[in-house]
Structure 1
Amino acid sequence: MQLLVKYLKPFWKIIAIILVAHVVQAYSTLLLPTYTSGLVDVGIQAKGFEYAVPLAMSQEDYQNLQSLLENPSQVEKAYYRGTDGVFHLKDQVSSKEQLTSLEEDLAIPLALYQRLVYSDQAQAFSDQTLISKERDALQKQASISGLTYVTSQGVQAAIQMYADAGLNPNKVQFDYLFGKGFLMLGITLVTISSAVLAFYLAAKVGADFGYRIRKQLFDKVLRFSDHEIEKFSSASLITRTTNDVQQIQMMVTLFLRIMIFSPIVASGGLIYLFGIQPNIIWILGLSIAVIAVMVFVLFKLTMPRFRRIQGLFDRVNLIAREVITGIQVIRTFGRQDYEGKRFDTANYELQQNHLFSGRVMSMMMPFMIFVLDASSILIVWNGSQQIAGGTMQVGQMMAFISYSMQILISFVMLSNMSMMFPRSLVALGRIDAVLEEPFSIYDQPQALSLEAKQVKGQVTFNHVDFTYEGADEKALTDIDFVAHPGQTTAIIGSTGSGKSTILNLLMRYYDVSEGQILIDGQDIRNLKLADLRRHIGYVPQKGVLFSGTIASNIGFGLPDIEQNQLKEAAEIAHASEFINEKEEGMQAAIAQGGTNISGGQKQRLSIARAIAKRPEIYLFDDSFSALDYRTDASLRKALNETVKDATVIIVAQRISTILDADQIIVLDEGRIDGIGRHLDLMEKSAVYREIAESQLSQAELAAQAHKQEKEV
């Protein structure tokens, strides 16, 4: 819950408005059953007469009522005789407090009047024995069941007196019904308006919440180093950014709609119920207790499954991505059935967890409906007994049922949310883990900027050691060399010797364990990451392209690049030949991952992308491996003219690519086995000599030796 509050803080003003709207909605909603009760009890049964107080009386009824009062002055103060000879209630006696007080004084006398009027004795009002007997009976009835029964008889007497005075009770009823009806219509409009406002703002907060969380996740992942990516896995990060955020967005919307509104309605309903009939509230308490036990049991059964479901989503996503990415390899090796079974296994486990949760959840609604219906039956049964005993009216029972259903439905809605809430909180915890994950690679507080005019590009590795997290052995040990501007430094070695790791350290995808990496004498850990990487042109071993056009890929990261710069970069990278063959030229579409062009074309576009950037340092991570020998040689020749003033570091498996490098670094199991030019290394490095002799013929080796001796 603390996590939810944490991420909802930016929306507190809108949430405050939603809360006010829900309070207004709940208050107006809870008013309607009271008015409905009034329509039945007062508007229909009592013809619009709300109090056991006569609005008008004939002179005879006035005198008869006085004879039944212990203190006749009570009537004299409240009524006046009109010119028509009828006694009318004074206008000053109009407030609810005054009418209630007068009703307490007149209820028993009016009920007594009603009994005497319908007695068989002609001189009933003068028979003191009968009056005393009936009065005692009424007082006893009032002491047992309260004034409800007595008051209802008093109201009937007030209606009869109003009619005896020559006035029309139907007009009072009409005015009451239409007055209350229009008031209820106004309350309904307020309820609808506040509900629409609350629902609209809840949907807006939910959508904005999802947008912000997705953006924060995406921005955070963009700044992750390889260490953080490996910790969470790409598949899990995708699931957290999509499925988990969707879960939370839905939960936030429903939370602001239901989990705020329902407790307000339930609390208000309980207050109203205590005012109507507290004797049968035990039914409601029993129903709520049964619902709470059911929800607790379901919660204990489903919560572990919800946690597992989120992890299984990651697993299914991971397998799906692997299959889609490696579909050609899978088909080539005939592993479709194996990968299908692997996916089915993960998918089946996810299905079973969903089915279990769904089956358990499906029990909730029928059970809740049973509780609601059983509660209604108990209320009607008890209410009918109260009505028969004169302690409750029909409208009051209707209101009691209405409030009870509102309270129970509120608990049902909260129960449904309580089952969804834990799953969403699991998703929120997974998202929070990503957002709170500290960066292993970040800008130091006093990080320096690199001005383009001041950067020469000299790269120095000063006794660098590096160990991958969790590894027992060092990946690199005592790497010490200098790559000068205007020169080409080549790195060669067997697979796993640490060649690509050197480039990753230079780009600060990882930080060195010991030693320093310097650019123009500055430790790269003291430089701003954006500045450092802005001066590096990197061509990965596997050409990575993005959906768009050829132009957008070559000018990637350079939104203001001009057309002639694009063409020049394409020419140098030898990409123009296949670009010109396309009808759209530079605007030809590139599919996601560059799947609609060949591997060699992808590498040439990747090289063109680095050239277009015009950096001071070029890093080629075995970037010429997909090119044929003729294209490789021609491209490197054209490239040498372009990068002649830059620092060039080439990682290569193919020795022909680096024969002419100014210095060659030979790696063997993470250590430098030798540094020098081709001829030097043929004499000093057994590792280099073995690689050269395995890839080049004796004639090629002799020709290269002759060429370098001539240069010397």
Structure 2
Amino acid sequence: MLKSLIAEIKDYKKPSILASVFMAFEVIFEISIPFVMAYLLNNGVKESDMSNILKFGFLMLVCAFLSLFCGIQSANYGAKASAGFAKNLRRALFSKVQTFSFENIDKFSAGGLVTRMMTDVTNIQNSYQMIIRVCVRAPLNLIFAFCATFLINAKMAMIFVYVAIFLALVLTLVMRTVFPIFKKVFKEYDHLNNSVQENITNMRVVKSYVKEEKETVKFKKASRMIYNMFMKAIRLVTVNNPAMMLSMYTSFLMISWLGAHLIVSDELTTGDLTAMFTYTMTILMSLMMFTMIFVLLSISTASVERIDQVLTADSTIVSPENGQTEVKDGSIVFDHVNFSYTDEDGDKAHVLSDINFTIRSGEVIGILGGTGSGKSSLVQLIARLYDVESGAVKVGGVDVREYDLDHLRKQVAMVLQTNVLFSGTIKENMRWGNKEATDEEIIAACKIAQADEFISTFKDGYDTMIERGGANVSGGQRQRLCIARALLMNPKILILDDSTSAVDTKTDALIRQGLAASLKDTTKIIIGQRISSIQDADRIVVLNDGKIDAIGSHEDLLLSNAIYREVYETQTQGKGGEEDDK
């Protein structure tokens, strides 16, 4: 599990090692101070020997200075190493997500991936810094302090052995109880992030239905659940504090009682007893550090598991080795295709059944069907956004599974139902379709998509800044910009998935005329809810419950297909006006 994460330390191995090395030297110098102090008391103060007082006093100052210097260096290198590790880890996660198929994204959820990149990586960053510093300091402190106490007096040193055993038992019991709680907490974080993301993305819908209060209550409930779970874990962890205090006071009492007897019997000096008290604090502080380490590691272990799930996940859709790089033409064959979505539990939701038809290169195909009939799922198989369950989808006479994914998708331009624009200028958004596109090519594509008309009204024209998600343009404008962006790809297949639903019928007709005139050799698939959007297609496919109900021209389907005729009559009777361009 740790192998995939350790690989991301990469160029930060050197500062990681130096952080640990400097921490080790800090411990050595720090542990030396009580020993030197014991010599100062026994051979300097007790004997009133000023030379020894000065010599051992100066030595203590040197040890303290070197300990401070090493501690500062360790902190600097530790911060650099942990921040660099977190940077590499986030970059690896983001790069991995870019290779995921839609099925992988559905499995982890957008909110779950955000939690992993932010909260989980931060937990691991903090833990890593503690591992290369505190996890070096605590055991070395403990070992050196134990050795020092045994050198001073073995009888007194045994007190710390019993204390350590007692605290280890308490810590083990607490951690076994706390770890499952932290695993549940991060699952709740996923749900919370999904809720926030969904709410912010769909803020207009929330406000239009006046559901702000309901969404606020929903958020508070999820947030309160996380708070309660954290508090439960913290209450369990705080059991360590009374256990630590009990150990501390017991140690002091036992050392004071036993030390007094040993001094009376001349088995121990005052300087040795003073050093023993100092080492008592060192040992107990080291044990307290171990408590902190185990608490943070129990949190980060859950985070490690979740990140490892992403880094080691294999994309369900990958390019074949030496895949085809040339798409000969825009012909498409659906050869007895069956398709299902699979949820986290492995249950399948059947979507498409025995889809079997052929589309000629350059043909215009309309697709009509009710909600849930499988229209979007059907066209997403062409660009291999999902893989078929059985059967085959062929493009240019070749099974899409035999193509290199990049080359296939560059020849299949899709304008999906959800029209997404990115922060930047209109030109920058257009160049997502073709990064080498000239200004003239961008304007030409926008004219075909009927976008040039409204872009010209903007003060900055094609240099107008688009806000995140295209929030500062209307729904119809967003759709036309997305169509123009797809046209710049100059694809062999163009898929419009209900992508003119927000424009009026006149603009819709102009877009279709522009596509017919400029992309004569391109296969065009138009999914539409309006008959007017698809009635001029060469053929129209009617889907019903994931199956082909009929295929034919507009006139043929009006005569032979009840579903198509019913939709047509519903849309043409009592039609009161055109759709708003919003």
TM over 0.5: yes
Q: Over residues 382-417 of structure 1, what are the superposed CA-to-partner deviations in whole Å (9 max), with x where a residue is unaligned?
A: 223222221211111111222222122111111111
Q: Aligned to 2:522, which of 626, 646, 650? A: 646
Percent identity of paired positions between Structure 1 and Structure 2 = 32
Matched, 1:345 2:218: no
> Which of residues 315, 332, 338 is equivalent to 1:459?
332
Residue 430 of structure 2: aligned partner: 554
Shift of 1:2: 4.8
Measured in 2, the distance between the counterparts of 1:303 and 1:499 equals 45
The one-letter amino acid of 2:376's match is S
Tell me if the contact between 1:491 and 1:651 (Cα under 8 Å) persists in the aligned partners: yes
- The whole-number CA distance in structure 2 between the counterparts of 1:495 and 1:366 is 62
* Mapped partners of 2:291, 2:349: distance in 1: 54
CA distance in 2, matches of 1:620, 1:596: 23
Deviations 1:645-669 (CA, angstroms, capped at 9, x unpaired): 2111111111111111122222222
Question: How far does residue 506 in structure 1 lie from its aligned partner after superposition?
Answer: 0.7
Aligned partner of 1:687 among 541, 553, 563:
563
What are the Cα deviations for residues 435-459 of structure 1, in whole angstroms up to 9, with x where unaligned?
2222111112232223xxx643222
In structure 1, the partner of 2:578 is none
Query: Is the 1:3–1:429 Cα contact (8 Å) retained in structure 2?
Result: no
1:630 to 490, 506, 512: 506
Structure 1 counterpart of 2:36: 35
Partners of 2:186 and 2:80 in 1: CA distance: 26
* C-alpha contact 2:23 2:137 (8 A) present in aligned 1: yes
Which residue does the alignment assign to 2:23? 22
Q: What TM-score, normalized to structure 2?
A: 0.92
- Secondary structure of the residue that 1:306 maps to in structure 2? helix
**2 CA distance for matches of 1:332 and 1:432?**
41
Q: Name which one, 1 or 2, has greater alpha-carbon Rg.
A: 1
Shift of 1:525: 0.3
Distance in structure 1 (CA, Å) of the matches to 2:70 and 2:184: 39
1:557 Cα deviation after fit: 5.2
Q: 1:397 to 1:581 in 2, by over 3 A?
A: same
Cα deviation for residue 631 of structure 1 reads: 0.9
Partner of 1:193: 69
1:483 positional shift: 2.6
- Distance apart, 1:418 and its partner CA: 0.9
Is the CA contact (8 Å cut-off) linking 2:24 and 2:136 kept in structure 1?
A: no
Whether 1:405 and 2:281 are equivalent positions in the alignment is: yes
Distance (whole Å) between structure 1 residues aligned to residue 433 and residue 300 of structure 2: 37
Moved more, 189-198 or 527-536: 189-198
Q: Which runs of 5+ in 1 are unaligned?
A: 49-172, 700-712
Letter in 2 for 1:675: I
What's the counterpart of residue 154 of structure 1? none
Conserved? CA contact 1:235–1:314, under 8 Å = yes
**SS at 1:489's partner residue?**
strand
Could you say what secondary structure the match of 2:336 adopts? strand
The within-5 A match list for 1:51-90 is none
Taking structure 1 as reference, are residues 224 and 4 closer, same or farther at Cα in structure 2, changes over 3 Å only?
A: closer
Aligned residue number for residue 152 of structure 1: none
Q: Which runs of structure 2 are paired with 1:322-401 in the superposition (5 Å)?
A: 322-365=198-241, 367-401=243-277
What displacement does 1:16 show?
3.7
Aligned equivalents of 2:228 and 2:135: distance in 1? 29
Aligned equivalents of 2:347, 2:155: Cα separation in 1: 72
CA distance in 2, matches of 1:531, 1:332: 42
Higher mean displacement: 275-284 or 584-593: 584-593
After superposition, where does 1:276-295 map in structure 2 within 5 Å?
A: 276-295=152-171
- The correspondence for 1:589, drawn from 446, 449, 465, is 465
Residue in structure 2 matched with residue 307 of structure 1 by the alignment: 183
2:136 counterpart of 1:263: no
Bigger shift: residues 401-410 or 423-432: 401-410
Dislocated runs of 4+, deviation >6 Å? none
The two structures, once aligned, show a CA RMSD in angstroms of 2.4
Secondary structure at the counterpart of residue 184 of structure 1: helix
Match of 1:227 among 103, 109, 119: 103
1:587 positional shift: 2.3
Rate the CA distance shift 1:669–1:524 in 2: closer, same or farther, 3 A: same
Could you tell me which amino acid in structure 2 is paired with residue 307 of structure 1? K
Aligned length: 571
Q: How far off is 1:527 after superposition?
A: 0.8
The alpha-carbon distance between structure 1 residues 578 and 205, as it changes in their structure 2 partners (threshold 3 A), is same
In the TM superposition, residue 472 of structure 1 has moved relative to its aligned partner by 5.7
1:115-154 equivalence runs, <5 A? none
Which residue among 664, 671, 674 is the counterpart of 2:550?
Answer: 674
Cα offset, 1:609, TM superposition: 0.9
Structure 2 CA distance for partners of 1:485 and 1:35, relative to 1, 3 Å? same
Q: CA deviation at 1:599?
A: 0.7
Per-residue Cα deviation, 1:238-265 (whole angstroms, up to 9, x for no partner): 1111111111111111121111221011
Contact 1:3/1:428, CA 8 A, preserved across alignment:
no
Q: Does 1:661 align with 2:537?
A: yes
Letter in 1 for 2:122: Q
What whole-Å deviation, never above 9, does each CA across 1:169-188 have from its counterpart, x for those lacking one?
xxxx33x3333333333333
Cα shift at 1:7: 5.0
SS state of the match for residue 371, structure 2?
A: coil
Change (3 A) 1:471 1:677: farther
Question: 1:248 — aligned with what?
Answer: 124
Answering whether residue 208 of structure 2 is matched by residue 207 of structure 1, we say no
Deviation at 1:370, TM superposition (A): 4.6
Distance in 2, matches of 1:250 and 1:278, equals 38
CA distance in 2, matches of 1:350, 1:264: 36
**Separation in 2, partners of 1:677, 1:483:** 14
Letter in 1 for 2:332: V
Amino acid of the structure 2 residue aligned with 1:339: E
Per-residue CA deviation, residues 104-140 of structure 1 (Å, 9 max, x unaligned), is xxxxxxxxxxxxxxxxxxxxxxxxxxxxxxxxxxxxx
Output the CA distance in 1 between the equivalents of 2:444 and 2:194: 40
The 1-side partners of 2:206 and 2:385 are apart by 31
3-state SS of the aligned residue for 1:538? strand
Shift of 1:694: 2.6
TM-score, L = length of structure 1: 0.76
CA distance in 1, matches of 2:554, 2:84: 61
Cα displacement string for residues 224-283 of structure 1 (whole angstroms, at most 9, x for unaligned residues): 222112222221121111111111111111121111221011111111111111121122
- Equivalent AA in structure 1 for residue 500 of structure 2: F
For 1:321 and 1:5, the matched residues in 2 are separated by: 27
**1:426 Cα deviation after fit:** 0.7
Partner residue, 1:468: 341
Given that 2:15 and 2:80 are in contact with CA atoms closer than 8 Å, whether structure 1 keeps it comes out as: no
**CA-CA distance at 1:294 after TM superposition:** 3.0
| Cα separation, 2, equivalents of 1:269 and 1:248 | 29
Q: What secondary structure, in the 3-state scheme, does the structure 2 residue paired with 1:466 have?
A: strand
Please say if residues 2 and 308 of structure 2, whose CA atoms lie closer than 8 Å, have aligned partners that are also in contact: no
Instruction: Name structure 2 gaps, 5 residues minimum.
Output: 576-582
Q: Output the amino acid matched with 2:390.
A: E
Q: Which residue is 2:580 aligned to?
A: none
Within 5 Å, give how 1:466-615 maps onto structure 2.
Answer: 466-469=339-342, 474-556=350-432, 558-615=434-491
| Counterpart secondary structure, 2:334 | strand
> Hey, what does 1:419 align to over in structure 2?
295
Following the alignment from structure 1 to structure 2, what is the Cα–Cα distance between the partners of residues 617 and 208?
Answer: 43
Post-superposition shift, 1:309? 1.3
1:539 deviates by 0.6
**C-alpha separation in 1, matches of 2:134 and 2:491:** 57
Tell me the amino acid that sits aligned with residue 43 of structure 1.
G
Q: 1:410 to 1:358 in 2, by over 3 A?
A: same
Match of 1:151 in 2: none
The answer to whether the 8 A contact 1:465-1:479 is kept is: yes
Residue 107 of structure 1 aligns with which residue?
A: none
Question: Equivalent residue for 1:44?
Answer: 45
CA contact (8 A) 1:463 1:479 kept: yes
